[in-house]
Amino acid sequence: MVDDVDGQRTVRRRHLGSGVQCRGDGNDGRGRTSRGHPVARSADQRPVRRAAGACGGVDFFTRMAGGELQPRDLDDETAKGLRRFADAMAIRTEYFDNFFLDATAAGIRQAVILASGLDSRAYRLAWPAGTVVFEVDQPQVVDFKTATLAELGAQPTADRRTVAIDLRNDWPGALQEAGFDPACPTAWIAEGLLGYLTADAQDRLLDQVTTLSTPAAASPPRDCSTSTT
């Protein structure tokens, strides 16, 4: 597809194995999808996996991102794992950034991000005028991200349209209700999603994407260079 830790500074204990404490019940407004991605992305880093195991890693990763925990607080193996994790995410992020930029350079003005989570591409990429970016994810995830970015004063750089729905439901219908035009060429991504799905669910998702996709053509059947309504 184009496509605490307990106490102050106690994270030095070996592998952070038993020091992680959870906050909340793991079902807050961020949603399981957006919380699950950081944990899954660190699956190959075993010390990180153990540290992140509780509450979907919310406490550990939130404190790292907020600066409360520093790399110097971690044992060497965990710190190396985090560096590998960060490097891998940087590479993957740039890859999909370039995918969208290449698509828009080719004239595509419609993009869909499935299981968008906390993806911020609709805010930070240089989208051409008239580009519509659809973000599809569970309502609580969409609401959390939208509210958080609004509090920060962030403004989308494209016509961002949210589709608040679980992908197990009729997301193709909801997508079209939000203004998606299946007659216009579209750039799709499902970053970090397929690995969580069964083989049947993967096939179903890809069949749905195929049904909604028009073959790329030099002359689109209608004017797809401006936002649809």
Contact 197, 205 (CB under 8 A): yes
pLDDT in single tens digits along all 229 residues of the chain: 433 333 333 232 222 232 333 333 334 433 444 544 443 343 334 444 444 444 446 677 788 778 888 878 878 888 888 888 889 989 999 999 999 999 999 999 999 999 999 999 999 999 999 999 999 999 999 999 999 999 999 999 999 999 999 999 999 999 999 999 999 999 999 999 999 999 999 999 999 999 999 775 333 445 565 433 3
Q: Where are the alpha helices (DSSP H) in 20-124?
A: 31-41, 46-52, 58-65, 76-105, 121-124
How far apart, in whole angstroms, are the C-alpha atoms of residue 7 and residue 4?
7
pLDDT of residue 224: 67
pTM recorded for the entire structure: 0.71
pLDDT of residue 161: 99
The amino acid at 126: A
115 in helix, strand or coil? coil
**Token digits of residue 45:** 């880093």
176 dihedral zone (left: phi>0; alpha: psi -120 to 50; beta): alpha
**Cross-strand partners of 113:** 135, 189
Pairing label, strands 187-189, 110-114: parallel
pLDDT of residue 165: 97
Contact 36, 196 (CB under 8 A): yes
pLDDT of residue 67: 84
**Token digits of residue 94:** 């740039």
pLDDT of residue 75: 80
Q: Any idea which fold 107-211 has?
A: Rossmann fold (3.40.50)
Cβ atoms within 10 A of the Cβ of 208, count? 16
**CB hemisphere CA count around 203 (13 angstroms):** 3
192 in helix, strand or coil? coil
How far apart, in whole angstroms, are the C-alpha atoms of residue 178 and residue 150?
20
How far apart, in whole angstroms, are the C-alpha atoms of residue 138 and residue 161?
14
- Domains of the chain, residue spans: 14-87, 107-211
Question: Does an H or E element contain 141, and which?
Answer: helix 139-151
Residue whose token pair is 């925990």: 69
Cβ atoms within 10 A of the Cβ of 92, count? 13
Contact 12, 123 (CB under 8 A): no
